[in-house]
Amino acid sequence: MRPSSRDAVLDAALRVARRDGLSAVTFDSVARESGLSRGGVMYHFDTKDALLEQMHAHSAAAWESQLIALLDRDVEDSTPADRLHAYLQASIDPVTPRDLSLVMEASADAEDGSAALQVANRWAPDLMTPPTTRDELDALVARLASDGLWVFAALTGQSLPAEVLDAVLARIRELIEPPAGPGS
């Protein structure tokens, strides 16, 4: 299916933001990047704020599509642990400081939580819900560790050495689904 020109504008705006920073997103820069006229961009978004808001929603929707693709089953058939495993896997994908900037800006402007936070809360434990069991606490710690991996990569532009990353991922996975012990 061919993407709509609205989606093409949002994809172009995200490319500009990731390459040149959020402040570089203007109707003119997005028009150049998308191959549309300034008026073509403004047809879909009458203000820069509307464009920025929809960029955040579009980016969150793309992230949720990535999470769905990482599941080995339908979302409806998945468990919270399945979704948290997908969340962990997505957290180690390459990111840049500008990706973090985009998420931070969206979170700061959102009245009821950013679109990215809403996606995160569908896939991982809600950070504002107090855990009542050890398993819930472990899942919450796994989410925070996953988020930490993503933020580390975004802040430093580096990946952990493979052996360190493998060990950290293995430990986080144990928090999500502890290995079966004797008598289990």
Q: Report domain extents, the chain.
A: 1-46, 55-176
The CATH number of domain 1-46, selected from 3.20.10.10, 1.10.10.60, 3.40.190.10, 1.20.120.420 = 1.10.10.60
Two structure tokens written together for 144 = 């925070």
SS3 94: coil
The length of the chain is 184
pLDDT in tens for each of the 184 residues of the chain? 345 789 999 999 999 988 888 889 999 999 999 999 999 999 999 999 899 889 988 888 988 999 999 998 899 999 999 999 999 999 988 777 677 777 777 666 666 568 888 899 999 999 999 999 999 999 999 999 999 999 998 888 888 999 999 999 999 999 998 666 554 4
- Decide if 169 contacts 129 (C-beta within 8 A): no
Q: Rounded to whole angstroms, how far apart are CA atoms 102 and 100?
A: 5
86: nearest Cα among 100, 103, 72, 99? 72
**pLDDT of 112:** 58
Q: Are 51 and 88 in contact (CB under 8 A)?
A: no
Q: What is the pLDDT of residue 184?
A: 45
Residue type, 130: P
What does the alpha-carbon distance between residue 9 and residue 3 come to, in Å, rounded to a whole number?
A: 10
Three-class DSSP category at 179: coil
The hierarchical CATH code for the domain 55-176 is 1.10.357.10
The angle that helices 134-156 and 97-109 make with each other, rounded to 10 degrees, is: 120
Q: How far apart are CA 18 and CA 8, in angstroms?
A: 15
Write out the two tokens for 29. 């820069």
Residues 6+ away with beta carbon under 8 Å from 177: 81, 85
Nearest to 67 by CA among 82, 46, 52: 82
